[in-house]
Amino acid sequence: MNPMLKAGLALLASLAVSVAQAELRQFEMTIEEIEVEVAPNFKAKAWGFNGQVPGPLIHVREGDEVEVTVHNLTGLSHTVHWHGMFQTGTWQSDGVPHVTQHAIEPGDSYTYRFVADKVGSLWYHCHVNVNEHVGIRGMWGPLIVEPKAPSELEQQVTHDALLMFSGWSEKYADAFGDGPRPGEHLNYYSINGKSFPMSQPIRVRKGDVLRLRLFAATVPVAFHLHGHDMLVTHKDGKPLPAPYEVDVVPMQPGERVDVIVRMNNPGLWMTHDHIDHHTTNNGREHGGSMLVVEYEEIEKPDWYDWKDIEYRPDFYMIESMRKPHGLHDKDVHRGRPLM
């Protein structure tokens, strides 16, 4: 067979497979007024996608057509920006008020349509008055686009955990429509909407391969895991040509970094933000952006902070990432409705 003809037939076959694998994913999301308990003795008003902080996990495959209808059930206007998505030919779904759309007014709805043409750890957030809506009101959630051809290392992962870092302001916690000015001090810090010790452990066994998808949703982060080095494999969703090992991962707001850790050192291992005041609750030490990676083989001492914790494994969306592709609500992130 002519080599050019053979190559052309191979290309057509691969395109046919790609088309067959792509699916139309249709979802609905609400924006609701809620109250979330971030830390002991600290609650804040938030606008939650489907009443949750973070918002529901949206997990699709590369090439899927995504259609999300968003219903605004709050008293102020909002949009949804799909951060990292190229929006090739669909700029009207980029979610920027007064540029790509009119903001979704209270009681109205808007449908976003795009092809998931960028893979990896992406996210979504409001683009109205970002300093308040995103910065202290919890208007963000994860969007994971699975590649058609995951690497050999990605296929070895046994636990896929999502960590979204954010800050909160006690000063503005009770007043929708008002928020910190740029550079104004925040006094609570959280992972997936909770400050230590109200966050959760990640439980593993020796031999597991843990993938941590780290999202600096609203604050800078210097993430450190004790007892292990982390292999940095992806930046802002894209695989790195030369992964490298670190023990601290620095990120600026909006950035995402994926790391893979081989669990080979049984123990109870703290992770924390190396920006020191991020590990406090309103200045009180041993709080904020902290969690413990627990090896199940290790007996918990009586004095251990989480010895008798009610374990909620989907706090880091580990269970949801194992489910079929779709939109996954999580009761563990649901706030108290205010309307």
Predicted confidence band at 181 (pLDDT cuts at 50, 70, 90)?
A: confident
Beta strands in 116-236 (DSSP E): 120-125, 140-146, 159-168, 188-191, 202-204, 209-216, 221-225, 230-235
Residue 242 pLDDT exceeds 70: yes
How much is the pTM?
0.93
CATH number reported for the structural domain that contains residue 286 in this entry: 2.60.40.420
- Residue 257 resides in a domain: yes
pLDDT score for 18: 45
Mean pLDDT of 154-164: 98
Q: Please, what is the average pLDDT of the chain?
A: 94
Residues 205 and 222 in one domain: yes
Cβ–Cβ < 8 Å for 65, 115: yes
Domain containing 201 equals: 154-318
Question: Is residue 182 very low, low, confident or very high in pLDDT (cuts 50, 70, 90)?
Answer: confident
119 with 244, same domain: the answer is no
pLDDT per position as a tens digit, 315-332: 999 999 999 999 999 999
Q: Domain for residue 19, yes or no?
A: no
